Structure 1
Amino acid sequence: MAETAQIERPLAVEALFERYHVGWETRDADLIASLHAPDTIFCLHDGSDAVAGREALRAHCRGLFATYDFSLERERLLFGPDHWVFEWTMLLSLAEPDGTPFTARVRMLDVITLDAHGEVLRKDVYPNGAEMAAAFARAGVAR
């Protein structure tokens, strides 16, 4: 029987992901920002401007959490020595123009790159554009 080589998984990166994920699950802007490099870049690829710097990211996250009620469902998660790629679905609580609540499902993809110190240097978030547009259109929100 042939021996199969074991692939080493970067546990430090996995542990960082778990801590980072807790920040998003608990809506803790301070925890999220603390895991980013001072010169971090956060880019939601929806046509909005990138957020540059840890303090700007902290403020951005606070604004997101104050504006939107959302949670997430985990899907595929891939690790490398200095990055992770995370597929997830955002469950976004919205209301139709007449006030009827609904939950929109928007598939998302995060690509996170770490610096040499193990801090998040860049986070790129790619939403499913059609699903996001349909959710906001149903809610009567112009974006």
Structure 2
Amino acid sequence: MTTRELFERYHACWEARDPDRIAELHTPDSVFHVHSGQAPAHGPAAIREAAAGTFALVPDLAFTLVSLRTGDDFWVVQWKLTGTSASGPPFEIDLADFVLVENGAVKEKHSYIDGAAMQAALTPAASSS
């Protein structure tokens, strides 16, 4: 399988909101790190839990592809994320993923997100009394 084919399969799992299939596409020692203050997830079980948590937080999460570059053992992708968090209004946030591939599976996934926009989206609106 080419890196581009792995990207397509992996992205399809995210669009399907399927944490089991996402985790299956990672190596046993894989790292999944959303660089916005959380600790990285290590290994498929923790990665599955992290993905499931994302879908619980934003059930209608959607991805719009902005740009994609692939190589023999990596991909770099820029996304526009949209959705409605369980605790706030609809949002649109920029995200960049840097992914390393090993033996046809995801070895490392580093996601760089617009942290200020994400924090604003996830913070419940203050009620005015």
User: Shorter-normalised TM-score: what interval?
Assistant: 0.7 to 0.9
TM (norm. structure 2) is: 0.88
Partner of 2:57: 67
RMSD (Å) for aligned C-alpha atoms: 1.9
Task: Map 1:2-17 onto structure 2 (within 5 A).
Answer: 12-17=2-7
Query: AA paired with 2:89?
Result: F
Task: Map 1:75-90 onto structure 2 (within 5 A).
Answer: 75-90=66-81
* CA distance in structure 1 between the partners assigned to 2:114 and 2:41 by the alignment: 20
Q: Are the structure 2 counterparts of residues 95 and 50 from structure 1 closer, same or farther at C-alpha, using a change threshold of 3 Å?
A: closer
Partner of 2:33: 43
Partner of 1:135: 121
- In structure 1, runs of 5+ residues without a counterpart are 1-10
SS at match of 1:91: strand
Aligned length: 125
Query: AA paired with 1:46?
Result: S
Moved over 4 A (4+): none
* CA distance in structure 2 between the partners assigned to 1:49 and 1:120 by the alignment: 18
* CA distance in structure 1 between the partners assigned to 2:51 and 2:42 by the alignment: 12
* CA distance in structure 2 between the partners assigned to 1:107 and 1:52 by the alignment: 24
Q: Are the structure 2 counterparts of residues 65 and 119 from structure 1 closer, same or farther at C-alpha, using a change threshold of 3 Å?
A: same
Deviation at 1:126, TM superposition (A): 0.3
Deviation at 1:63, TM superposition (A): 2.1
Q: Are the structure 2 counterparts of residues 95 and 112 from structure 1 closer, same or farther at C-alpha, using a change threshold of 3 Å?
A: closer
Q: Cα deviations across residues 63-116 of structure 1 (Å, max 9, x unaligned)? A: 2212222111111001111000010011020377xxxx731001000000011x
- Identity level (%): 34
Q: Cα deviations across residues 2-51 of structure 1 (Å, max 9, x unaligned)? A: xxxxxxxxx71111100000000000111111110000000000111100
Query: AA paired with 1:106?
Result: I
TM (norm. structure 1) is: 0.80
Query: AA paired with 2:10?
Result: Y
